[in-house]
Structure 1
Amino acid sequence: MCEVSNKIIFCTCHSDLDELEDAWIYARFVDGKEEYIIGMPIMPNFINPVTHKANRYRICRMLNQRNCFDIDILHIDRDQLHLSFDKYSLFYSFEYRNSKWRSIESEPLMMEWYHDIIHYGKMKEMYKM
């Protein structure tokens, strides 16, 4: 797997999340929500730990330096952004707190436990050339 780009664009131009190979999901915290979703785990592809850490750092830095979305989103504490590369074979999650994005540990089934999906779409310019 290539390194993730620092120029990713989160596009809302796609209507069906299930059809996307490389998707972003923006979820908003809902106070009092506890909705556990059960499903089959998807084992991630192996990625070199150094590359994985560099990707998390690069994406987090990009999120904090510029607007990567093709729409205006008012970020609120506890909002989450989940990035799925190659149908969840590589998954990164970030949470917005105190006016900054931070990398968090998460997995696809957990994203709707305490949050509602409010935006999603296709990622563009995802990989470093």
Structure 2
Amino acid sequence: MCQNGQHFKLCTCHGKPLTSDDYRWTLKRYVGQTLSTMDGMLIEPDFELSPELTEAYFTAELNQRQCFDFDYIPSEGDNLYLYNPRSKSYRFLSFIFRSGQWVWGSYNAFVDETEDFNEGKISFE
């Protein structure tokens, strides 16, 4: 899958079907605080999807180059989810764009509202 020194690309894959083997991404825009009164349990993001696909690997890549295959300038508060749809446990990485860089973190869905902005698969170059 991923080898040291290999880059990734966040592909929108318009018109191309995704397979169950594809790692996926979802980009969300921060809307603001929610008025919801939901109860439940939060699932915290992980620090890795696999031994090679770690928070440190993705953070470095996201902050050093353009990883998206479309014209995109991050906005303060944008939230990027990376996940494996085959995972039996719900494992994902989450990054928030803050002060001009991507940092590991997530929003509290009971307090913060986001909306989907774009999505696709993670490909490795």
Structures share fold, TM-score greater than 0.5: yes
1:58, 1:4 → 2: CA distance?
A: 9
Determine the structure 2 residue equivalent to 1:104. 105
1:36, 1:14 → 2: CA distance?
A: 36
More helix by share: 1
Identical-pair percentage: 26
Q: 1:22: Cα distance to partner?
A: 1.6
Q: Which runs of 5+ in 2 are unaligned?
A: none
Determine the structure 1 residue equivalent to 2:24. 23
Report whether the alignment pairs 1:56 with 2:55.
yes
Q: 1:85: Cα distance to partner?
A: 1.8
Specify the code of the residue in structure 1 equivalent to 2:30. Answer: F
Specify the code of the residue in structure 2 equivalent to 1:31. Answer: G
Answer whether contact 1:35 1:114 (CA < 8 A) is retained: no
1:52, 1:106 → 2: CA distance?
A: 25
TM-score (norm 1): 0.67
Question: How do 1:30-49 and structure 2 match up within 5 A?
Answer: 30-34=31-35
TM-aligned CA distance change 1:116 to 1:73, over 3 Å: same
Determine the structure 1 residue equivalent to 2:70. 71
Paired residues in the alignment total: 118
Answer whether contact 1:15 1:121 (CA < 8 A) is retained: no
Determine the structure 2 residue equivalent to 1:83. 82
Q: Which runs of 5+ in 1 are unaligned?
A: none
Segment drifting more, 72-81 vs 52-61: 52-61
More strand by share: 2
TM-aligned CA distance change 1:16 to 1:72, over 3 Å: same
Alignment RMSD (CA, Å): 4.3
Specify the code of the residue in structure 2 equivalent to 1:92. Answer: L
TM-aligned CA distance change 1:72 to 1:48, over 3 Å: closer
